[in-house]
Every structure is written in structure tokens, then in C-alpha cells.
Amino acid sequence: MRVGRGRHLVLAVPGRAFAQRFAYAILACAAITLMIISQAEPRLVETLRVGVADAVAPVFSFFSRPATTIADGVDELGGMLVVHERNERLESDNATLRKWQAVAEQLGYENEMFRRLLKVVPDQRTQFVTARVIADSGGPFIHMVMVNAGQSHGVRRGQAVVNHDGLVGRVLEAGEHTARILLLTDLNSRIPVVLEESRDRTILRGDNSPHPYLAFLATGAQVKPGDRIVTSGEGGMFPPALDVGIVSAVDKDRATVHPFVVWERLDYVTILDYVVPGVFPETRRAERTGSLQ
């Protein structure tokens, strides 16, 4: 029995060595044979290829499912981690907002109490109309734009015009469906303003340049580059505290202002119908009497 086993081993080793030695030649011959058959009988080869693909497809599908499942699981786990991180951040933001809400409620209560103690007259609610700039009628000697809203929309001469950046100017003329806006940089523009920090009141005057200047500054007025300029509300034409610009330069003669409005991106504007009853003439009444010129 031992001798027989030894013979089988002896015969198996040379056979394996022969197969390994001539494997490349056998595969090359098989490939050449398949190429010849594919040229002679292309339909047969195609049928064979399709049959082999159909036969191995279930195997590939079986082995691909675990990989797909693992990938889906990894994605789901990553999504859960992201959601968990966002939830933690939202909880932190909510806690901060709750603190600010409590502070705002307390300040609102104190503000209302002080108003009652001081008998403060509340500001009137401002109505507004949003319009699109349809034409630039400006030039080197006049700075104006035209909007697609007029008297039929409640637009009247003298009303303040703003956009998301700040004060744009005022309504100069109002037709039935259009209006012309005099920009604050125009030579004819005069706007009552106040320095936000020092509370010094002055007039913002245009000179047809991109930077209007502060006129009629009081002696000893504290003005420096970087100071914010807002409307003062004097005259009743403009609501108070509208953003205008910042002081860009101060010299011996004047203080120039850089407006917040970017004129190259002036697409939509909001026209404010601000009314101060009793003390100053109302906007519509002033338009009829011609006091706003």
C-alpha cells in the first residue's frame, strides 16, 4: 500500500510540472482557436458569450449584494453621524436663542415701561411700495433713475427712497405709472442727517460726484473718517435712522461721505410713504401745496 501511494505521488508531480510548463502555450492556442472560430462562426461565439454571461450573472449578483449592503450601511452611518452633529449644533443654537429671547423680552418690557413713564409718542407706521429701476436718466450733470411705480401705486413727490443697502434719494416727479428718483449724489439733493456717534446734525449735500459731503457742520462738530451717517428725520420728509453712509475723508473744508448704496447694482428700490401728522405737513398734502421742492 505504501509503495502504491508513492507511485501515485511520483506520477502526479511530473504531470503538474508539465501542466505548469505548457500552461501559457495551451492558453495561447485556446485564444487563437477562439479567434478563428469567432471569425468563422461569429454568431456561435456571441451565443456562447451571452450564455456564459447569463450563467455567471447570479454569482456576480450574489457577491455584489454584501458590498452594496455594506456601502449602504456606511452611508447610513455617516448620515446618522452628520444628523447627530447637526442636532447638537441646533440644540446649542436654540439654547443661545432662548437666552437672547429672555433678554429681548426683558428689554421690551423695560422699554414699554419707560415709554409709559415718559409718555413717548410712538412713531407712525411707514407704508411702502417696491419698484424696479427701468431707466437711468442720469448723466454728468444730473443723477436720476426712473422706476415703474407712480401715483396709481401711491407714489408721491418728496417720498424717501431706499434699498437693502440704505438711502437712495427721494421722489422728484411722479406720473401715473412711473416716477423719477433724485439720487442723494445729485447736485440738487439736500438731506438732513446726523452723525450716529456724536449726534451732531448736519445736511448731506450732493455735488454730482460719487461722494456727497456734509454741509453746515457746526463749529466744533466731532466728525472723523469711519463715522456712520443716518437720517435725522428733521423736516418730516425722511424717517429717522435710515442708513446713509460713512465718512470717508475729513479735511479743512469739508467731510465727504461714502454712501452705502452701490449704484451699479441699483435694480429694485422701496419708496416710503412716511407721514408725521400734526407737527409737520403730511407727504400728500405737501405734494399738493408744492412745499416739497
Q: Kindly state whether residue 169 falls inside one of the protein's structural domains.
A: yes
Q: Would you place residue 123 in the very low, low, confident or very high pLDDT band (cuts 50, 70, 90)? A: low
For residue 199, the domain's CATH number is 2.40.10.340
Residue 143 lies in a domain: yes
Range of the domain at 168: 127-289
How many domains does the chain contain in total?
1
* Contact present, 173 and 158 (Cβ < 8 Å): no
Whole-prediction pTM value? 0.55
- Taking alpha carbons only, the member of 178, 141, 182, 164 closest to residue 260 is 164
As a dihedral over the C-alpha atoms of residue 103, residue 104, residue 110, residue 111, rounded to 10 degrees, the angle is: 150
- Digit-coded pLDDT (tens) for 225-253: 999 999 998 888 888 989 999 999 998 77
The whole-number average pLDDT for the span 206-227 is: 90
- Residue 66 is predicted with a pLDDT of 60
Inside any domain, residue 264: yes
What integer is the mean pLDDT of 174-188? Answer: 93
Buried b (16+ CB within 10 A) or exposed e, 165-192: ebbbbbbbebeeebbbbbbbbbeebebb
Instruction: For residue range 86-96, list pLDDT tens digits in order.
Output: 888 888 888 88
